[in-house]
Amino acid sequence: MVMPLGDETPTRIVPVVNYGIIALNVLVFFLQQSRPETFTIAYAATPYEISHNVDIDRPVVVSRPAAEQDALGRVRLAPEEEVIPQAAVPFPVWFTLLTSVFMHGGLAHLAGNMLYLWIFGDNVEEVLGHVRYLLVYLACGLAASLAHIALTPDSLIPTLGASGAIAGVMGMYLIWFPQNQVRVLVFRTITLMPALLVIGLWIVMQLVLGMGELSAAGERGGVAYDEHVGGAAAVLVFGAVYRGRARALEERPSDLGWAPGHRRIVYTRGPYR
């Protein structure tokens, strides 16, 4: 198990927008838990609804081929019905491209996304500034959703999650600060790894898993890995445009973090208890 815990580069700002995004995601998740499942479905983004500009307000029954074996051991394909839940959207369906970015499918989904945003988002916010960071974050989330819809325009599976937007944030961090040191928990040991390795491994995993998902994209539930790739692709523009600002921040003294009493701590060996 490899889990990032934090980076070793403090910011000279209080990343209020990053904290606000994390708080909003958590609040929306608890709202989801307190409401019926139809609430989550209504505010999630369904590719078919957006690509066809229609609101599907009731469950849809679809027929899929399924393999079955008879008494003689012969295998044949037979139609199998599946009910895909849907719910009425309380506003134009394309607004779900935004609402879906702040929703999650479970506690583990939420915790993983917020951990990476907590670690890498503050430095990206410092480069971009508060307002620009919010706009770029939303743009990455939108690019992620559009990438998924472009690949699966007829999918009836609702999608949600901040993964694509966070992939964009991590991609910018990787472009601007590849040598920044990240504290990582490796089994029971805390050590330091360069951001290039930590984020690079994550992106490679998304690409590999995404390639495996393309053949069944939009046909079943689970993680939409093409959204991660879409969000990461958006950083090519933002990363190039604001690279000069990031380089200027890299030249600052390393002890000018906003958090008082910040100290650089290096873990080399020994078990974590």
For the chain, the domains span 2-56+90-250
Distance, in Å, from the CA atom of 235 to the CA atom of 183, rounded to the nearest integer, reads 24
Distance, in Å, from the CA atom of 49 to the CA atom of 237, rounded to the nearest integer, reads 29
Tell me: domain 2-56+90-250, CATH 1.20.1540.10, correct? yes
Amino acid at 119: I
Beta strand residue intervals within the chain, DSSP E: 2-7, 60-69, 75-84, 181-186, 189-194
Do 200 and 171 meet the contact criterion of CB atoms below 8 Å apart? no
Q: Give the pLDDT of the chain (273 residues) as one tens digit per residue.
A: 678 899 888 888 999 999 999 999 999 999 999 999 999 999 999 999 999 999 998 888 877 666 666 666 666 666 677 788 889 999 999 999 999 999 988 888 889 889 999 999 999 999 999 999 999 999 988 888 888 888 889 988 888 888 888 888 988 898 888 889 999 998 889 999 999 898 877 777 666 655 444 444 444 444 555 555 666 666 666 766 666 666 666 665 544 444 444 443 333 344 333
Going 195 to 210 to 137 to 15, the CA torsion angle's sign is negative
